[in-house]
Structure 1
Amino acid sequence: MVLLFTLIAWTAVAQENYEIRKIKFEGNDTIPEETLLEGMILHPTNYFEKKFGQKEPSLYSSELIQTDIERLTKLYQRMGFLDAQVKMLEPEIDDKKEKVELTFKINEGEAFRIDSITYSIGGSGVDFNADSVLSLLREQLYLTKGKRFVDDELGSDVSTIKNEFKNYGYAYARADYKITPKPKERLADIEYIVQPGPKSYFGATSIDGNKHVSEKYIRKQLQYKEGDEYNSSLLDDTRKDMYKLQLFSILSFQPQTTKDQTPNIPVKIYVDEAPRFTSKFGVGYGTEDKIRAFTNLTYKGLWGGARRVNLQLKHSALTPYEINFSYIQPQLFSSDVSLTLNPFFSRIKEPGYDIRDMGLNVKFSQEFTDDLSGYVSYYFEKVKNYEIDSTYLTSGETDIPYNKSGILLSTLFDNSDPKFSPTKGLNISLAYKLNGYIFGGDFNYSRVWTDIRNYQDLDKLVLATRLMIGAIHSGDSDKFIPVEDRFYAGGSNSIRGWQRSELGPLRDDGTPRGGSSAIQASVELRIPLVWKLSVVSFMDFGNVWEQELHYRLNDLAWATGGGIRLETPIGPIRFDVGVPVWNEKRSAEFFLSVGQAF
């Protein structure tokens, strides 16, 4: 018996300081593995993370394992599983490599759920309809009847209740809660207790830290004035709108409440101005645009306000030169409307055309909400077509140079996040272009298209989908559409079984002609590997048709493939291989680029 005890103790000591290769969980039906690992001290480390990510491995420690068992138990309790039990099973030990795999077995038990929610408002002098406010609050709260009790959501709901009262003039509002558990039924009642305090009003506002931006201009941005009923949301809205001006790197709004709860609340604003002149430079390489480079220069605070000017220079194989100058006037009619004047000059060499384009855009933009924006733009362009072999061009394409004049209307809904490489959310754009007719120019046509992108977080995976549909209608007898406004398909951001623009109508010499009708769609599964590496598997399909409003589903071209991504601060570096499906004449295509395909 003593010998057996000695052997068990020796085994436990022998695996101390072994490297933890893997951590597994059993019985975690409710809480995902990622969340559990984030709550632990110990963490698994593989070869790539150690080699390329410089990540130090965790070493086996009986003391730390016991600490992690306690942490996991408390995590489950905060999630409403008050009777949860966690234990570690026998570890899998590799003495030769001095590595160990851990398995934690979890018995979640039955979660506590919310049975009822009530409110108690203390004090006197509340001069608004508390019932209507509480009714609105119920729509904002995480915890509702029947939901599982979660500590963090309770804390968030308490803050929401307190802040809502502060939006109705009660700067000193406090909120607390009382929980009444019902162990037998696995239920809990919540009572929120609110102390509004005295009615409050905005006092004087002081401003500090500004150097170039005048105090007068800053005061024009304030959405409140001294003597107004206190409303904390007005401070938040003012700060948000001022950040949009791009004049400030730090904005701090500090209501000066007092212990004796004086009704007049002075506000102290501290600002740290952003650099007035900024410059960005970059170079890169891609299989389509080859070597590319850009320069971006911006000057802010022009003529003492929020006006700014921007100069952008670009070069690549697809765009040998592009010069864009922009004058931006924020807050033209209101805080969410801006004006942009944009003269430009560029040379564009696509597989289907070679043009020089110069002109002017006059754009009015508006942000309707944080996720919804739109703009209307008038444009005038003078285009010269450099196609050398006009034998293969239509009669319209030989009419060079030519003028374009019209309007472009666009709206965008985008709640996808994060922006460079979304893992969740929706991105929907809809645009309409009307060229010629009452606006003049050499051709009359309209162009409409929509692009819908959806991102779903599937635990560790991301399912990304995209659908683009477009149509062009010509009002001229020859049905000519300028080559740069036609639809094209194929390439690194399109149907990846074809090179750029080569899917769809072709001229006699094999160059892309483009078309007036288009469908493009993609389904992509993004799978993280290790460190900053991930892989994708995709299916693309679509085509372009020369005729107007002509979509033949039997003509859809299909491609499948995969790729690898390396996350960087400017977006993922992407390598994709696309293989045409049901097309024996074509071989695989390879693409190297920056940024997700969509």
Structure 2
Amino acid sequence: MQRRLILAAIFTLLLFFNSHVFAQENYEIRHINFVGNDSIDDDLLLDAMVMHPLSYIEKTFSKKEPALYNREMLETDLERLTRYYQREGFIDVSIELAAIKQNDQKKKVDLRFRIEQGMPFTIDSISISQTASSTAVNIDSVFRSVKAKLQLQPNSRFSDDALISDLNLLKNAFSGNGYAYTTADYQLSLNKDAQKVSIHYLINTGPLCHFGPTQLDGNKHTDDKFIRKQLLFSEGDIYSTSRIDESRQKLYKLQLFSILSIQPELTQQHDTPVPVKIYIKEAPRLSSKYGAGYGTEDKFRAFAELTYKGFPGDASRLKMQLKHSALRPYQVSLNWIQPQFLYPRLSLTVNPFISRNNEPGYKIQDMGLNVKLANELSDQLSAQTNYYLERVKTYDAEVDSLGSSTNDIPYQKSGFIFSVFYDSSEPKFSPTHGLNITLACKLNGYAFGGDYNYSRIWTDIRHYRKMGTLVLASRLRVGGIHSGDADHFIPVEDRFFAGGSNSIRGWQYSELGPLRDNGKPLGGSSVLEGAVELRIPLAWKLSVVSFLDFGNVWVDEFQYQLNELAYAGGGGLRFDTPIGPIRFDVGVPLWNEKRSAAFFISVGQAF
């Protein structure tokens, strides 16, 4: 009897073990999780696998087939995961399938992998030398100039991808200093006891090279001389890959070409000088864009844009824009843009316009002229100076605490706007990391003309931080207006307003802040608002956010009453598209029992 009980217990354990280590072939994989992967995110490990679970949304809206479990693929994925870890420096990693949860009714399985990473190999030292066939060059000087940019530094974790990246960085450093035929290799010395690796780079520079003749091909409308004027190299100069790259970027920014290739014609015989071949395909001279959409605030909106390139010169372009929405029934804008005005990083834009604005707090017709000089100081920093001359006609104007104006009588504005922009945030439409700062000052009237004298300054700071798969976004906006007139009148369209899909989301558009006697927004001379938003990816193109917004608007200039800040909390959905996410937000005013939730549909992140 006892023997039978022991055999039964062993048989039961075997069945239990089998259910955790093996699953029914061709069951759909519903979920995969990992235990012990302290250094590498789940998403990266899933990307390395063949068996990849699909969410319900992916199966519903995409054409992807769900992954099916089989033992052969399991062995393949165990090997792929092991190799991935080893490429990341974890040579002694151990990975096994720890458990399987099987649903026979739905024919689905969940897999759990147990990972024992072990200690990673770290960098002990980095050195460099030339091969015997190299040209005599101060290799240490070039190495010092790029050493801080190397991904693999002493005491950092070894990675195959980082090693290849550093190898290319070193190669480009030498080819950028005249050695077009540079080759780079490496030697690794492992100390298994200490889990250390030393890297020694071997550089063969080849001969010192110069640029040869440049051949152009493909340009029909753009003059050869104009294109050659953009190049940062000429025949006889010391060869430099950085000059080629900068010339390519300079030509692309002209927006004249749909295809642009600048290729040095290197040979196996290491010939010098090095000829350069430029092939271009010009963009259509006349192009158009059209679009329509819907948002909670501007309702139905539509736009049309026509652009003519090369008017009247090679790099200039003429752009006409037509826009319509509930907030802006019509806007007609003509832009003449001249890149490389006076010098390469300066552009000139001349912009006559007319528009009708139906805002919650005012109704105006605005027509005038803007002349803008934009200076690109670096890839991330730029500055603008904008002169404007406007004629504004107000409708439904009233006497208010910021001065008085008379219905239908136009007034004139004239002045300058000075702006500085810093932007290291990426990617463009939905940043996940980086910083975006705007500082601006508007001077109206005074010595520049216009019917009113006032100055308006504001700043907008946005920060994005990636935390694993999550993104923490924050924003702060502060502004103030000072009037130089006795009646302290500030044109209503230049006042600060708050509330809406891109502001404090517990209030509708421009609804937060001082109000007129009739309940319409008055606007103010001071604004302070901020937001913190956590962006959480779900699956496929869907994500959710959770946010806290705060802020207010005050009538008095440069007066910020922190005890009067309004707060709103809420959440929303995002669906990614090529032009930015479509979003639905719900904002609830906090500590305000008189107000209900506000709902918003819009395109693009709130900030």
TM-score band, normalised by shorter chain:
over 0.9
* Counterpart for residue 310 of structure 2: 301
* Counterpart for residue 35 of structure 2: 26
Instruction: Map Cα deviations across residues 13-53 of structure 1 (whole Å, 9 max, x no partner).
Output: 86100000000101101011011011111101222221123
Tell me the amino acid that sits aligned with residue 450 of structure 1: T
* Counterpart for residue 138 of structure 1: 147
**Contact 1:462/1:525 (<8 A) preserved:** yes
Q: Distance in 2 between matches of 1:420 and 1:217?
A: 33
- In the superposition, relative to structure 1, how do residues 138 and 498 fare at CA in structure 2: closer, same or farther (>3 Å)? same
Instruction: Map Cα deviations across residues 526-547 of structure 1 (whole Å, 9 max, x no partner).
Output: 1112221211111100000111
Secondary structure of the equivalent of 2:167? Answer: helix
Tell me the amino acid that sits aligned with residue 337 of structure 2: I
* Counterpart for residue 499 of structure 1: 508
**Contact 1:123/1:197 (<8 A) preserved:** no
1:396 and 2:404 are equivalent in the alignment: yes
Q: Distance in 1 between matches of 2:268 and 2:491?
A: 70
Q: Tell me whether 337-346 or 284-293 shows the greater mean CA deviation.
A: 284-293
Tell me the amino acid that sits aligned with residue 167 of structure 1: G
Shift in Å, 1:207: 1.0
- In the superposition, relative to structure 1, how do residues 338 and 510 fare at CA in structure 2: closer, same or farther (>3 Å)? same
Tell me the amino acid that sits aligned with residue 406 of structure 2: T
* Counterpart for residue 156 of structure 2: 147
Shift in Å, 1:548: 0.8
Tell me the amino acid that sits aligned with residue 342 of structure 1: N
Match of 2:255 among 208, 223, 246: 246
Shift in Å, 1:408: 0.6
1:420 and 2:420 are equivalent in the alignment: no
Equivalence map 1:1-12=2 (5 Å): none
Shift in Å, 1:257: 1.2
Q: Distance in 2 between matches of 1:492 and 1:195?
A: 58
RMSD: 1.9
1:176 and 2:197 are equivalent in the alignment: no
- In the superposition, relative to structure 1, how do residues 394 and 260 fare at CA in structure 2: closer, same or farther (>3 Å)? closer
* Counterpart for residue 367 of structure 1: 376
Tell me the amino acid that sits aligned with residue 397 of structure 1: S
* Counterpart for residue 405 of structure 1: 414
TM-score, scaled relative to structure 1 = 0.97
* Counterpart for residue 299 of structure 2: 290
Q: Tell me whether 522-531 or 446-455 shows the greater mean CA deviation.
A: 522-531
Match of 2:441 among 428, 432, 439: 432
* Counterpart for residue 269 of structure 1: 278
Identical residues among aligned pairs (%): 57
Structure 1: gaps spanning 5 or more residues? none
**Contact 2:102/2:109 (<8 A) preserved:** yes
Secondary structure of the equivalent of 2:198? Answer: strand
**Contact 2:35/2:114 (<8 A) preserved:** yes
* Counterpart for residue 3 of structure 2: none
1:349 and 2:358 are equivalent in the alignment: yes
- In the superposition, relative to structure 1, how do residues 207 and 353 fare at CA in structure 2: closer, same or farther (>3 Å)? same
* Counterpart for residue 212 of structure 1: 221
Shift in Å, 1:395: 4.8
TM-score, scaled relative to structure 2 = 0.95
Aligned residues: 597
* Counterpart for residue 75 of structure 1: 84
Q: Distance in 2 between matches of 1:44 and 1:317?
A: 44
Secondary structure of the equivalent of 2:67? Answer: coil
Instruction: Map Cα deviations across residues 154-187 of structure 1 (whole Å, 9 max, x no partner).
Output: 0000100010001111111111110000111100
- In the superposition, relative to structure 1, how do residues 164 and 10 fare at CA in structure 2: closer, same or farther (>3 Å)? closer
* Counterpart for residue 192 of structure 1: 201
Q: Distance in 2 between matches of 1:7 and 1:293?
A: 65
**Contact 1:253/1:270 (<8 A) preserved:** yes
- In the superposition, relative to structure 1, how do residues 9 and 565 fare at CA in structure 2: closer, same or farther (>3 Å)? closer
Q: Distance in 2 between matches of 1:347 and 1:258?
A: 62
Tell me the amino acid that sits aligned with residue 495 of structure 1: I
- In the superposition, relative to structure 1, how do residues 361 and 70 fare at CA in structure 2: closer, same or farther (>3 Å)? same
Tell me the amino acid that sits aligned with residue 396 of structure 1: S
Q: Distance in 2 between matches of 1:123 and 1:362?
A: 60
1:592 and 2:607 are equivalent in the alignment: no
1:482 and 2:482 are equivalent in the alignment: no
Q: Tell me whether 301-310 or 231-240 shows the greater mean CA deviation.
A: 301-310
* Counterpart for residue 532 of structure 1: 541
1:558 and 2:567 are equivalent in the alignment: yes
Shift in Å, 1:392: 5.7
**Contact 1:214/1:304 (<8 A) preserved:** no
Secondary structure of the equivalent of 1:462? Answer: strand
Secondary structure of the equivalent of 2:44? Answer: helix
Tell me the amino acid that sits aligned with residue 65 of structure 2: E
Secondary structure of the equivalent of 2:99? Answer: coil
